[in-house]
Amino acid sequence: MTVLRLAMPTPLRSLFDYLPPAGIELAQLQPGQRVSATFGHRELCGVLVEVLENAAPSEYEIKAAGAILDTSPLLTPGLQQLCLWAADYYQHPIGEVMTAAFPTRLRKGGQHQSLAIKAWQLTTHGKGLAEGALARSPRQAEAIAALRRDGPTSQGDLAGAGIKRPALKALEDKALVETCELNPVPREGRARPGLTLNQQQSQALSAIAAAGDNFTCHLLEGVTGSGKTEVYLQMIAACLARGKQALVLIPEIGLTPQTVARFEQRFDAELAVLHSGLGEAQRNRAWEAARTGIAHIVIGTRSAIFTPLAQPGLIIVDEEHDGSFKQQDGFRYSARDVAVKRGQLEACPVVLGSATPSLESLHNALQGRYHHHRLTERAGGSKLPKLSILDVRKQPLQAGMSEGLLNAVEDTLSRGEQSLLFLNRRGFAPTLQCHDCGWIADCQHCDARLTMHRRQRRLRCHHCGHNQPIPSACPECRSEQLLTLGVGTEQAEGVLREKFPMTALYRVDSDSMQGRDAMQALVDQVNGGEPCILLGTQMLTKGHHFPTVTLVGVIDMDALLFSGDFRGEERAAQLLTQVAGRAGRADRPGQVIVQTHHPDHPGLQGALTKDFHNQAIEILADRTARSLPPAGNMALLRSDCTDAAQGEQFLRDLRLAAQAHMPTGVTIIGPLPAPMQRRAGRFRAQMLVHGKGRREVQQATRRLISLAQQQKSGRNLNWSVDIDPQDMF
Ligand SMILES: Nc1ncnc2c1ncn2[C@@H]1O[C@H](COP(=O)(O)OP(=O)(O)OP(=O)(O)O)[C@@H](O)[C@H]1O
Ligand SMILES: [Zn+2]
């Protein structure tokens, strides 16, 4: 008998067998089609993974599927394989992985809409119409003549030629014309001329071009402003010339409107842009354009890595070190790592680019697994900025800023230039405390303090979203002596406005940058070139090109220096390099001032004496010595539930049950409470699987998952698996 093996959108880690729907022939079935089927008591939309033609009869009753929803598969074979791989590698339920590859509407079983446009054509009767038959209706005669001349024509084109709907409607009533659909014809994508590349850029370009239509993986490590984007643009031009599509992943589209604009300017081609801000119809259209090959270039954030492509020819991951490429909940995948696998499965080159590559990618490049191309100088002749440390110990500070820093801002402004001040904390102050009794405003749902937002007059939890009014007196002792501790962007903004009342000041954080076009408006204003001050969080560090910024100030470096995570040092070096890299990108030289209470901190001294590459090599040596990623491998099992003890007990039971079957070389650490144990009212615990070899860690994790599925203590709690975890929180 014939059995359909379906991936169903359920949290169960298996495929499910169904009989073909009644009346369906074998020839109509193809993997990648969506199929509706009853699951439990619900009708779900699954994806056909395999057709088993001569399956042995099962001892269980197999139900028939409801309907085949697509006449041909919507997922390309390459993408189906990619999903299967990802479900296996990340040990995540296959149904959830497969359905993640579709836009929401299709995921829910909605009808597939093609890009075909509504058009009109002559009916047989219309074709046979005698000349002069419509002499008394000149508009209708004109419409007939146009359709006779041009064949089926879109409604838009007809309207453009002055042929209006009423004439067409009248002809339709006479059965002389009828509506039809026109599929868009892929046009040729072209690049406009680019810049003349320097030697390092052209070496990188030709090495990647030499790969042609084969899988190779390249790390393009180029200092900030070295012209990596120019290399991408020219690689894409070559890809389009081969008649192939390029997929470009970038961290956050809303934050870097300039990137998309640069692509639009360079190419005379169809661009499909995919990001979370799109409406459903726009998303469907972009997805469909990518899938059918109408779009030459697909630009998107993390989830765009699962967009089907008709003719994949190149995959680029820009700012490949960026944390946003890792999905932190549900299906926890790394879009960067999935991109490399996709290149392998679909035989196309993959380019990972960054000024501050992740140690994972650097390790692969140094081991010879990736081709390594370095751009060590800024393009266009500007120099990398000079870094200096400002020791703020014993110095008076205003909203965290020393006199030295404020003077430097003033000097910069008086030269007609712009300053960028980086403070990675939004709100007014991260802590509110009672001066008389020591009470601290904590979140009632999390192990976290509430951040004071003065303008909104609220205390907010940045972890669960809880918020409440700012109390006028201490809830414990009724004292009115409430003090804020620490500084956020809102507070620094106040001081800067007072100091520089005549200067434009832009605060850039997730509170101030609401709405889709906020960042674009900011970029336009800043690039007007007037002297100004930019003050903001991480949002300001990502890939922006502000040519008139010459001073970068890091207000609180100490917040970056001390981190409990083993990746803390790497992240601090990346962030500092990226923010510093915003200075002096055009003809005027840049300087970077880093405020700290710990001027001798090795991480900071490293940044002064070495470039990111050499710092990274040192950090890598340390990781290797400790068998930490990328030299070792990790998986994290997490539990969360409303009872603190229950989660830990579940993990402990699991560990006990698994102990005897662990592959050699794998250690289990924990269970331990998560660094933030209580979040949004739930208690979180975790257990780390650590080992040198990837295969052993995978195997151990697989074992733990299968035990977890049987474990009684796991029934009333949530547990999840994170392969290659990025954050230990
Ligand atoms: N070959 C070249 N000749 C002249 N100017 C160039 C060349 N390549 C790039 N540039 C210019 O140098 C500037 C920085 O380039 P680009 O933004 O591509 O750098 P990047 O490496 O992507 O930067 P970052 O990683 O800091 O975001 C841009 O203004 C770009 O137009
Ligand atoms: Zn909270």
Distances (CA, A) of 530 to 412, 526, 698: 12, 7, 55
pLDDT at 220: 97
**Which residue, 602, 548, 611, 623, is CA-closest to 576?**
611
Residue 442 confidence (pLDDT): 93
Answer yes or no: do 18 and 99 share one domain.
Answer: yes
Domain range for residue 500?
A: 382-427+488-625
399 and 312 within one domain: no
Last residue of a domain, one of 625, 650, 670: 625
Residues 6+ apart with CB under 8 A from 129: 144, 176
* Distance in angstroms (rounded) separating the CA atoms of residues 372 and 247: 20
Averaged confidence pLDDT in the chain:
90
In short, whether 198's Cβ falls inside 6 Å of ligand 1 is yes
Protein residues near ligand 2, an ion, with CB under 5 A: 443, 445-446, 461, 463-464, 466
Contact 215, 344 (CB under 8 A): yes
Report pLDDT digits (tens) over 462-484: 988 999 999 999 999 999 999 98
Q: Over 80: is that where the pLDDT of 514 sits?
A: no
Is 239 assigned a ligand-binding role in the annotation? no
The confidence band for 164, taking pLDDT boundaries of 50, 70 and 90, is: confident
Confidence of residue 166 (pLDDT cuts 50, 70, 90): confident
**Ligand located closest to 232 CA:** 1
Q: What pLDDT shows up at residue 643?
A: 86
Nearest ligand 1 atom to the CA of 196 is: 1
Residue 348 lies in a domain: yes
Q: Are residues 505 and 607 in the same domain?
A: yes
Q: Are 617 and 374 in contact (CB under 8 A)?
A: no
Whether the upstream peptide bond of residue 251 has omega within 30° of 0, thus cis, is no
Give the pLDDT of residue 47. 95
Task: Kindly state whether residues 47 and 152 are assigned to the same domain.
Answer: no
In-domain check, residue 309 = yes
Query: What's the pLDDT tens digit per position in 38-58?
Result: 998 899 999 999 999 888 877
- Phi, psi for 350 (deg, rounded to 5): -125, 135
CA-closest candidate to residue 53, choices 115, 2, 106: 2
pLDDT tens digits along 169-212: 988 898 889 888 877 777 788 888 889 999 999 999 999 888 77
Alpha-carbon distances of 450 from 434, 463, 538, rounded to whole Å: 13, 9, 20
Rounded to an integer, the average pLDDT of 296-321 is 95
CA neighbor of 239 nearest in space, from 315, 304, 293: 315
Q: Are residues 548 and 422 in the same domain?
A: yes
| Token pair of 470 as six digits | 């700012």
Report pLDDT for 368: 95
The answer, yes or no, to whether residue 661 has pLDDT greater than 90, is: no
Is residue 109 predicted with pLDDT exceeding 90?
no
Q: Domain end: 607, 625, 643, which one?
A: 625
Atom of ligand 1 nearest to the CA of 547: 29
| Residue 450 domain flag | no
488 lines ligand 1 (CB under 6 A): no
pLDDT per residue as tens digits for the range 372-421: 999 999 888 788 888 999 999 999 999 999 999 999 999 999 999 999 99
User: Does residue 677 belong to any structural domain of this protein?
Assistant: yes
- Pairing state of beta strands 401-402 and 397-398? antiparallel
pLDDT over threshold 80, residue 146? yes
Ligand lying nearest the CA atom of residue 357: 1
Residue 179's beta-bridge partner residues? 120
Same domain? 134 vs 163: yes
Within a domain: residue 291?
Answer: yes
Phi first, then psi: what are they for 61, rounded to 5°?
-80, 130
Q: With bands split at pLDDT 50, 70 and 90, how would you rate the model's confidence at 138?
A: confident
CB 33 within 8 Å of CB 74: yes
Q: Which residues have C-beta within 8 Å of that of residue 45, sequence separation ≥ 6?
A: 9, 34, 35, 36, 69, 99, 107, 108, 109
Q: What percent of the chain has pLDDT over 70?
A: 99
Query: Do 224 and 321 belong together in one domain?
Result: yes
pTM: 0.90
pLDDT band at residue 260 under the 50/70/90 scheme: confident
Weakest mean pLDDT among 143-152, 282-291, 408-417: 143-152
| Inside any domain, residue 444 | no
Task: Give yes or no: residues 173 and 292 share one domain.
Answer: no
For position 317, which CATH number holds? 3.40.50.300
Are the C-beta atoms of residues 351 and 235 closer than 8 Å to each other? yes
Q: Which helix (H) or strand (E) holds 649?
A: helix 644-659
Q: pLDDT value at position 128?
A: 82
pLDDT of residue 544: 80
Of 325, 329, 320, nearest in space to 729 by CA: 329
What's the complex ipTM?
Answer: 0.97
pLDDT above 90 for 511? no
Q: CA torsion 696→701→703→704, rounded to 10°?
A: 140
Of 82, 107, 132, which residue constitutes the final position of a domain?
A: 107
User: What CA–CA distance (Å, rounded) separates 574 from 666?
Assistant: 30
Closest approach atom of ligand 1 to CA 224: 26
The answer to whether residue 242 is domain-embedded is: yes
Question: pLDDT value at position 48?
Answer: 95
User: Residue 258 is which amino acid?
Assistant: Q
Segment 54-102, tens digit of pLDDT: 888 777 888 988 999 999 999 999 999 999 999 999 999 999 999 889 9
Please state, as a whole number, how many other Cβ atoms lie within 10 Å of the Cβ of residue 73.
18
Ligand 1 atom 4: residue of nearest CA = 380
**How many distinct structural domains can be found in the chain?**
5
Pair (608, 662) in one structural domain:
no
Q: What is the pLDDT of residues 672-697, one digit of tens each?
A: 888 888 888 888 899 999 998 899 99
Closest by CA to 420, choosing from 554, 545, 512, is 554
Same domain, 554 and 649: no
357 and 243 part of one domain: yes
Chain-centre distance for alpha carbon 165: 44
Classify residue 135 as exposed, middle or buried by CB count within 10 Å of its CB (0-12, 13-18, 19+). Answer: exposed
> Based on the domain organization, do 286 and 390 belong to the same domain?
no
For 183, phi then psi, to 5°, come to -80, 135
Tokens 């309907």 sit on residue: 67
Using alpha carbons, select from 547, 544, 561, 656 the residue that is nearest to residue 607.
561
Write the residue with the smallest CA distance to atom 5 of ligand 1.
380
Residue 106 has pLDDT above 80, yes or no: yes
Q: Would you state the pLDDT for residue 255? A: 66
What pLDDT does residue 258 have? 79
Cα 457 to averaged position of ligand 2 atoms, centre (Å): 17
Q: How far apart are CA 93 and CA 8, in angstroms?
A: 9
Report if residue 21 sits inside a domain.
yes
Q: Is 229 in the pocket of ligand 1 (CB under 6 A)?
A: yes
The kind and range of the H/E element at 140 are helix 138-150
| CA atoms within 13 Å, Cβ hemisphere of 676 | 15
Q: Using CA of residue 722, residue 723, residue 726, residue 728, what is the dihedral sign?
A: positive
Q: Indicate which residue's Cα is closest to atom 8 of ligand 1.
A: 227
| Axis-axis angle for helices 602-609, 568-580 (nearest 10) | 40
Ligand 2 centroid to residue 467 C-alpha, Å:
8
* Residue 729: predicted pLDDT: 58
Q: Among all chains, which residue has been given the structure tokens 């990226």?
A: 578
Could you read off the pLDDT of 322-366 as tens digits, one per residue?
Answer: 999 999 989 999 999 999 999 999 999 999 999 999 999 999 999
